[in-house]
Structure 1
Amino acid sequence: MIFKALRLNIDVRDSIFNELYPLHIQKLAQRHWTPVAVAKMAAQYLAEEPYKKVLDIGAGAGKFCLVGASCTDGIFYGVEQREALTKLSTDIAERHRIENVEFIHANIDQIDFSDYDAFYFYNSFYENIDTSCPIDELIPAHKDLFYSYTDYVKSQLEQTPVGTRVVTYWSGEDEIPGSFHLDATAYHGLLNFWRKS
């Protein structure tokens, strides 16, 4: 019902969507997973044409990709360093027959951005600086990782073609090269829409 509603452009409350996840993942939702309304808005900007390949940088529990794949004709890829979250996301997609989504167990610096058309970034590296609400204890946090991952994303985005779209949410924008301009903003400046010029 959740994904059918999204396909029909019917609003879905986060409390309902988050019930797809185990309780310990639900408890992380407010801090770590993209709200449904934000995901819909971002996905519709990024997948403005059918079959656009959208990469979620640090997909977590896969919520952005699952929403985006359900409400657009884009193809969504979520890269996530935690294998358990990648498996969980994949299981949900398979159970609900969402075919235009794929989850990749890898670190961001193993990903070549030239394979994708557009990018979503919900400040996934910040967990290396603010350790007050960890996703788990499996991945050691270190501030140097924040800077090295951010630099990697920026260098990859610098190599993308003119017209490439990026959406950032709760970001300091350190990962956005100067060649991108701000198309629009929403949610009091927390959600930003960028295009390479």
Structure 2
Amino acid sequence: MRNQFFSKGKKFSVGDPMTDALWDSFLPQNFQTLSPFQWTPISVIERTWNFLSHDGVTSLVDLGSGVGKFCIYLSLLSHHSIDILGLEDREELVNVSESLKEHWEVTKVQFRKVNFLNQFPKGHSHYYCFNPLYETMKGSHSIDSNKIKSASQFLKDLQILKQNLLLMKPKSKLITFHGFGGNFLPGFRIILKEEISGGEYLIWERE
């Protein structure tokens, strides 16, 4: 895929300081302005790798991967040691993710244009999500206006997501930032709870 976004010649090596501002500088302008609300902060990704590096991770899925920031930077931090899959149902965001993937030269990240509510990926050791149902809520800072926004749609999607998460294998982990859409998750126990970058960060274990 021909890279259509990057002409600045910037490169990053693990060990160099990474900031959200630096990462965002590689995004199209309209996605840069959404960064504080939609894309996972660098500090949260670094905290996640600190946990995963001691938790026997073999594969991870980002449910609603957006512009691919979480997946790509996590792969860089892990020295490309784990398989990472990003699921996103907006084609434009998948295209941006693929361009970022090419730029950062990550080899063990895949992006798929998939609605994870309809096609839930089973069998992975870890899952991540950053308030994945936000786009069905009547809030500000939405990515676009393509999705139905209503309380009934949100509750319907939340029920589907909870049922899907029960497909996770026992002892697998779900990592959430700003929640998954609810406060109680049947079939899971909380093993870590923190406040990071102004949001609630939780790690759940499938019972």
What is the distance in 1 between the residues matched to 2:138 and 2:17?
A: 32
Match of 1:196 in 2: 206
Determine helix, strand or coil for the equivalent of 1:114.
coil
2:59 equivalent to 1:53: yes
* Equivalent residues of 2:130, 2:180 under 8 A apart: no
* Equivalent residues of 1:108, 1:149 under 8 A apart: no
Match of 1:68 in 2: 74
The AA in structure 2 aligned to 1:64 is F
Which blocks of at least 5 consecutive residues in structure 1 are unaligned?
A: none
Q: How far does residue 103 in structure 1 lie from its aligned partner after superposition?
A: 0.9
What is the distance in 2 between the residues matched to 1:156 and 1:43?
A: 24
Q: How far does residue 18 in structure 1 lie from its aligned partner after superposition?
A: 0.9
What is the distance in 2 between the residues matched to 1:12 and 1:186?
A: 22
Distance change in 2, residues 1:144/1:44 (3 Å): farther
* Equivalent residues of 2:136, 2:147 under 8 A apart: no
Match of 2:24 in 1: 18
Which blocks of at least 5 consecutive residues in structure 2 are unaligned?
A: 1-9
Determine helix, strand or coil for the equivalent of 1:133.
coil
* Equivalent residues of 2:129, 2:180 under 8 A apart: no
* Equivalent residues of 2:66, 2:94 under 8 A apart: yes
Match of 1:128 in 2: 136
Determine helix, strand or coil for the equivalent of 1:110.
coil
Determine helix, strand or coil for the equivalent of 1:56.
strand
Distance change in 2, residues 1:172/1:78 (3 Å): closer
Match of 1:4 in 2: 13
Distance change in 2, residues 1:11/1:190 (3 Å): farther
Distance change in 2, residues 1:194/1:78 (3 Å): same
* Equivalent residues of 2:68, 2:100 under 8 A apart: no
Q: How far does residue 175 in structure 1 lie from its aligned partner after superposition?
A: 7.4
What is the distance in 2 between the residues matched to 1:175 and 1:153?
A: 13
Q: How far does residue 190 in structure 1 lie from its aligned partner after superposition?
A: 0.6
Deviates further, 163-172 or 130-139:
130-139
Deviates further, 160-169 or 21-30:
160-169
Q: Deviations over 1:83-118 (max 9, x none)?
A: 000011011102221011111111112323314221
Identity %: 21
Determine helix, strand or coil for the equivalent of 1:153.
helix
* Equivalent residues of 1:56, 1:78 under 8 A apart: yes
Aligned with residue 151 of structure 2, among 143, 161, 182:
143
Determine helix, strand or coil for the equivalent of 2:13.
helix
* Equivalent residues of 1:61, 1:86 under 8 A apart: yes
Q: How far does residue 3 in structure 1 lie from its aligned partner after superposition?
A: 4.2
Q: Deviations over 1:56-83 (max 9, x none)?
A: 1111111111111111222111111110
Determine helix, strand or coil for the equivalent of 2:117.
helix
Match of 2:5 in 1: none
- Please give the TM-score of this superposition, normalised by the length of structure 1: 0.87
